[in-house]
Structure 1
């Protein structure tokens, strides 16, 4: 039975889960969404970057990363640009969907998570930086053009609506069949469900 993995690259817990999900031995279907849009749709209040919850998630993320043996270092420049509206808020999820459409999702997704959370200092705040990012990670050169396309925008909207309709209120969220699991710390429950 496959796992559906609903994610947003801005989420530290989506990153952490992404480092472990393939170890469960099941086929994974990835569904990038704009979690801020979904949270507003389902009446769940997104946290501001200076909230106690977000500050705690950074500390907690370091703990989880240590447990998983993976790097954890948020790309502060990127998050500042996102907060100031210099980078469109849904660009990363669009890039993930573009990776799916270009048949390069695993490479694109891994590179995105690495640059957002894994300590890579690549610049995603400018066109030139994004072009260098694609080249340095051997990603399709048309990645960002496809990410900005109407087709990808429609797919993202579909993913968002579907997630909201299924009860998603945060990320990462996993589905095994119709059963929903929320949070990186629920992967053991996902594994147990797969084994049933």
Structure 2
């Protein structure tokens, strides 16, 4: 039976986007399965994480994310629109959030259909890779199709999202219990590996446990 790896991941996190190619490669190289467990961004889970008094956090991400993407050879541009509606001067979060809940519920549905990490990789590359107005036209439909999924069927499944909302809450609780709070966090054998730059540590641990495929 393949080893189970839980991946806690957010559709607003640029580092979650950067982790997806490595996550896909992981399941090719090791006898392991990734359980994709989307959570809401820290901007919603912990609204005071980004604040005017602590602008260095947001400023650092804006510096570090592009260079990390360049190092990994991945396209990058800050999303337009941003999956979270938030004033980046005051960091005030809008009450109306038309994007992030839909994306997160679709992520839950994609995992239920056995294509969670594939959907995350395709959609996040579209959002963070430079597609302007990614929420319009057939961009999301095409991204879902590239992951082997039918967006219309998924949208129908989340029309009443109560069950998906409950699963997101469960994911967030499990992330907190894992020993970390941020994304992306991989959890293997109760051991958390936080950050795209810890994939090499996870690979090393899987090799220690003899899980590399021949």
Query: TM-score category by the smaller chain?
Result: 0.7 to 0.9
Q: Is the 8 A contact 1:39 1:170 kept in 2?
A: no
Q: Which residue of 1 aligns with 2:62?
A: 58
If each structure's helix is expressed as a fraction of its own residues, which one has the higher value? 1
User: Who wins on radius of gyration, i.e. which is larger?
Assistant: 2
Q: Is the 8 A contact 1:39 1:45 kept in 2?
A: no
* TM-score of the two chains, using structure 2 as the length reference: 0.75
* Alpha-carbon displacement from aligned partner over 1:165-193 (angstroms, at most 9, x marks no partner): 22231111111211111111111211111
* Alpha-carbon displacement from aligned partner over 1:107-157 (angstroms, at most 9, x marks no partner): 432232023211122432xxxx3x733433334213234335222112112
Distance in 1, matches of 2:49 and 2:166, equals 23
| Structure 1 segments unaligned to the other structure (5+ residues) | none
Distance in 2, matches of 1:66 and 1:75, equals 16
Q: Per-residue deviation at 1:89? A: 3.9
| Structure 2 segments unaligned to the other structure (5+ residues) | 87-92, 209-214
Distance in 2, matches of 1:95 and 1:55, equals 29
Aligned with residue 177 of structure 2, among 165, 181, 195? 165
Q: Which residue of 2 aligns with 1:17?
A: 19
Q: Which residue of 2 aligns with 1:36?
A: 42
User: Is the deviation greater in 166-175 or in 17-26?
Assistant: 17-26
Q: Is the 8 A contact 2:10 2:39 kept in 1?
A: yes
Q: 1:186 aligned to 2:198?
A: yes
Distance in 2, matches of 1:80 and 1:105, equals 21
Distance in 1, matches of 2:48 and 2:199, equals 24
- Going from structure 1 to structure 2, the CA distance change for 1:76 and 1:52 (only over 3 Å counts) comes to farther
User: Is the deviation greater in 31-40 or in 71-80?
Assistant: 31-40
Distance in 2, matches of 1:34 and 1:79, equals 11
* TM-score of the two chains, using structure 1 as the length reference: 0.81
Q: Is the 8 A contact 2:12 2:82 kept in 1?
A: no
Q: Per-residue deviation at 1:21? A: 1.8
Q: Is the 8 A contact 1:78 1:123 kept in 2?
A: no
User: Is the deviation greater in 140-149 or in 55-64?
Assistant: 140-149
Distance in 2, matches of 1:99 and 1:167, equals 26
Distance in 2, matches of 1:77 and 1:157, equals 25
